[in-house]
Structure 1
Amino acid sequence: MFDYLIAKTLGGKLILRIEDTDKKRQVAGAVEGLINILDWVGIKFDEGPHLGGEFGPYIQSERKEIYKEHAEALLKKSGAYRCFCSEDRLKKMREERQAEKLPPRYDRVCRNLSEQDIIEKLAKNEPFVIRQKIPESGEIIAHDELRGGIKFAVQDLDDQVLIKTDGLPTYQFANVVDDHLMKISHVLRGDEWIPSFPKNILLYQGFNWEPPKFIHLTLTLNKEGSKLSKRQGDIAVEDFRAKGYLPEPLLNFCVLQGWHPSASDKAPKEKTDEILSLDQMVEYFDFKDMGTSPAIFDVAKLDYFNGFYIREMSLEKLTKLCLPFLGENLKLTADSKKQELDYIQKVIGLEQERLKKLAEIGELTAFMFADDLQYESKLLIWKKITPEQIKINLQTVFELLEKISEAEWNKKNIEEVIMGYIKTQKFKVGDYLWPMRVALTGREASPGPFEVAEVLGAAECLKRINQAIKKL
């Protein structure tokens, strides 16, 4: 999201690079899924594995020789060294250091191997990694665009692995090399990477390269203040799409997790709400206005945004989006009229104001499709009115509605007839409208009885009221 906004606001390009050097974490189809879901939300790339470009290949596992070449160059500059330590030795070393209450970082046994030792080990085909040779003393200042200069004591830094035994680079090495070769101007990543920030800067210095601008984004936390995780709920965009969230509110919600238009001099002073189109985000955004305090993932706020965009949408478009969520409802009826698009659109129109997620439409509208409405008769009872009186009231409603012709069957006329009778007789509104609404919907909460009656049609309304009378 923020990479896209920076690229657009600064007139740059957004590049998709697939960082797949950790074979254990690879998932079949993940790249295609990533491209598809970002395209769905409106994030378009200028270069990448699916588009090509002047800085390809864009898949890190296809750039192995490039990393090897740069690792060799760093070895020659004494900015790195080969480490032949076995996994068993490293495990024992870490355990011993932890027992002595020392940081479990590498003890640099291989850092000062003689050239002859290295030649002999290579001749024996001993496996090795290539480690970064961190200075043993001093201080380094790494500049973050939001936090300014951050000081680090180099003696606290580990000689991190750059190239693994399989010849593939680690994330830290591959990204530095690729960011330089691809002329990346801005690097955005989570603030959990700040501890490794100085090692990145030392790598740039080791190659005599100018580092890009670094922006470390704050983590998004749940309401309990801990990191979001799959175990605590959905965090993948695909999960939210499946639940019926729209692209526009997802983008709107996400941008506010790290930036707010009120902090921008580019946003109009009269812009006091938080509703932002993608074009407005590009127009108002400046990365210098981003915050450094953790954001809270508030699902209720996301639901608010989603509901807002649903209400603003044309009924025709909303109907098209809701159709995939209505499959089970359509199985509830044998009435061809209830399966027609015109009827479905009117049903969705009843719930458009209340709908927060598209996936809710099935549960909210099931009663509009049911040929056999199921509910307990006690639901028809309003306050302290007796069942006998409710039955009489429903019979009155039935007789009043029966007089409305098919041509005049609409909300306005239905409401005038029912409310006119109630007011003329000086009866209480709830004594009639509650049982009428329950008879039509079978629910405690639903759209108003006149709106529901209009969409159901005269025949279905009279049928349902008659069924309710028989329940009493």
Structure 2
Amino acid sequence: MIRTRFAPSPTGYMHIGNLRTALYTYLIAKKQNGKFILRIEDTDTERYVHGAIDIILDVLKDTGLNYDEGPNIGGDFGPYVQSERKHIYEKYAEKLVEQGNAYYCFCKDDRLSKLREEALKNNTVFKYDKHCLNLTKEKIKKKIENGEPYVIRQNNPIEGTTTFNDILYGEITVPNFELEDMILLKTDKMPTYNFANVIDDHLMNITHIVRGKEYLSSAPKYQRLYEAFSWEVPTYIHCPHIMKNETEKLSKRNGDASYNDLIEKGYLSEAIINYIALLGWSPDSNEEFFTLEELIKNFNYENISKSSSIFDIKKLKWMNSEYIKKMDKEKFHNMAYKYYENIPKQIDKHLLSEMLQNRIEIFTQIPDIIDFLIELPDYDLSIFEHKKMKTTIESSKKVLTEILPIFENTNDYSIENLNSLLNSYISENSYKNGFVLWPIRCALSGKISSPGGSSELAYLFQKDETLRRIKIAINKLN
């Protein structure tokens, strides 16, 4: 059975690259009716952020990436939080020591700092010098009995090569002298990420691993661990970077948008998932819009590109607008309603939602679009001049002056009646529609762009406010 895992560190909000990893991992499992597992890798206590685990759980639930095993639902391979698995790792580290594939290291920080300074001075990459590799068993025993702190390091050879395979990059071979003797077990007996993920992936029967391209350099060290234990190596899929532009990676450390940021800015979860699926993966068709179920059906990890993708917020915004247009009207209204808090009570908010649904790209645009409903802007008279509508300040004043008594003499402010009154006026005077409707719209909204036409706006405001705004416009146009 295909078993994949999403194994985030609880270090803050879910950034876009992390969410794409979760999505691809989920799709690989579900495409083959496999299992999608959530594992929390919290061994880096210094970077741990309180509440981050809840954020991870909420995002996966919100996006529909439902896992089959995980920290809050259990499973046959738990615990699913690494800090709760601390007792597991030490015996595997000790086994590697017994085999000669790892060793105790008692080097103190000052010695390691000097090695790093020398490497920097010589313009070389820092690499531990195996200083503690040949300590005798007696010396090791004595140091441990004396309470000297130690770590356990991987013992990588300095000769020969190590080869591993990746779905996207094929067979990769690296010289062993390039491999760092990475720390497997820290002084507090907590495992490093690099060690724990190998142990856990094996014990949880993980068959496919999706992670960022940046982990390619660590893969040879993981390979040597698998070989040391004589374990089967999972299928690797190292995804290309998501870039903010041609030269900079998208990164939460640089303050780039997280999933939660995008939701707060008014993007829909479905649009975000659809868009990030296409950041590095191409379907066999030219289709751009996919539900999660359609992604499961169409996804093929062999179609993931080796090239980096640029996160184009304009493309996401366009895609989001298409999702908004297709939304159920009541759902749209319920989501938009929180932006109507300061709107006058007489405003028909359901109609307002109908006017907005095909107009916005993201929900947070709503306040700027409807602010005129709360207070008439202090507008410039130039808005009444429109070449296409053939309106001028003088013609606008004339139209508004003639429309005012028509609006005063009716109490029926239904859209149907207002349309009838306006159409009669236009017909009787042989005017073009825009010649009349444009100045009314400007008078009521104080903007060159607003949702709805003249009749809809007059209906929203009803009689008193409609007349008040037309009179203000007439006075301004004098």
Say whether residues 1:311 and 2:325 are aligned partners.
yes
Say whether residues 1:33 and 2:55 are aligned partners.
yes
- The corresponding residue for 2:296 is 282
Deviations 1:391-433 (A, max 9, x none): 22211233444566627x326x544543554465344555433
- The corresponding residue for 1:267 is none
Say whether residues 1:467 and 2:438 are aligned partners.
no
**What is the correspondence of 1:174-189 to structure 2 with a 5 Å cutoff?**
174-189=196-211
C-alpha separation in 2, matches of 1:292 and 1:48: 30
Note if contact 1:221-1:297 (Cα within 8 Å) is conserved in structure 2.
Answer: yes
C-alpha separation in 2, matches of 1:246 and 1:135: 50
**What is the correspondence of 1:320-359 to structure 2 with a 5 Å cutoff?**
320-327=334-341, 329-330=342-343, 333=344, 336-338=345-347, 343-359=348-364
**What is the correspondence of 1:32-431 to structure 2 with a 5 Å cutoff?**
32-230=54-252, 233-262=255-284, 272-327=286-341, 329-330=342-343, 333=344, 336-338=345-347, 343-368=348-373, 370=374, 372-376=375-379, 378-382=381-385, 387-402=393-408, 406=412, 409-410=414-415, 414-415=418-419, 417-419=421-423, 421-422=425-426, 425-427=429-431, 429-431=433-435
Per-residue deviation, 1:286: 1.4
C-alpha separation in 2, matches of 1:391 and 1:299: 42
Matched residue count: 451
Of 439-448 and 307-316, more deviation after overlay is shown by: 439-448
C-alpha separation in 2, matches of 1:456 and 1:224: 49
Say whether residues 1:436 and 2:440 are aligned partners.
yes
Of 435-444 and 380-389, more deviation after overlay is shown by: 380-389
Give 2:307's aligned amino acid.
Answer: S
3-state SS of paired residue (1:152)? strand
Say whether residues 1:452 and 2:457 are aligned partners.
yes
Give 1:396's aligned amino acid.
Answer: E
C-alpha separation in 1, matches of 2:383 and 2:212: 55
C-alpha separation in 2, matches of 1:464 and 1:314: 34
Deviations 1:7-36 (A, max 9, x none): 101211111111000111111111111101
Give 1:187's aligned amino acid.
Answer: I
Identity %: 39
C-alpha separation in 2, matches of 1:131 and 1:305: 49
Deviations 1:92-116 (A, max 9, x none): 0121133233321111111122222
C-alpha separation in 1, matches of 2:457 and 2:119: 72
Per-residue deviation, 1:184: 0.6
Q: Closer, same or farther in 2 for the Cα pair 1:198/1:231, shift >3 Å?
A: closer
Q: Closer, same or farther in 2 for the Cα pair 1:377/1:95, shift >3 Å?
A: closer
C-alpha separation in 2, matches of 1:131 and 1:18: 23
Note if contact 1:401-1:462 (Cα within 8 Å) is conserved in structure 2.
Answer: yes
Give 1:381's aligned amino acid.
Answer: F
C-alpha separation in 1, matches of 2:253 and 2:77: 38
Q: Closer, same or farther in 2 for the Cα pair 1:355/1:231, shift >3 Å?
A: farther
Per-residue deviation, 1:194: 0.5
- The corresponding residue for 1:265 is none
- The corresponding residue for 2:44 is 22
C-alpha separation in 2, matches of 1:325 and 1:207: 58
- The corresponding residue for 1:10 is 32
3-state SS of paired residue (2:42)? coil
Of 114-123 and 76-85, more deviation after overlay is shown by: 114-123
TM-score, normalising length: structure 2: 0.89
Note if contact 2:213-2:239 (Cα within 8 Å) is conserved in structure 1.
Answer: yes
C-alpha separation in 2, matches of 1:36 and 1:100: 48
Of 56-65 and 359-368, more deviation after overlay is shown by: 359-368
C-alpha separation in 2, matches of 1:337 and 1:108: 78
Note if contact 1:186-1:214 (Cα within 8 Å) is conserved in structure 2.
Answer: yes
Per-residue deviation, 1:127: 0.8
C-alpha separation in 1, matches of 2:52 and 2:134: 42
Note if contact 1:243-1:359 (Cα within 8 Å) is conserved in structure 2.
Answer: yes
3-state SS of paired residue (2:237)? strand
3-state SS of paired residue (1:418)? helix
Q: Choose between structure 1 and 2 for higher RCO, CA contacts under 8 A separated by at least 6 residues.
A: 2
Per-residue deviation, 1:387: 4.2
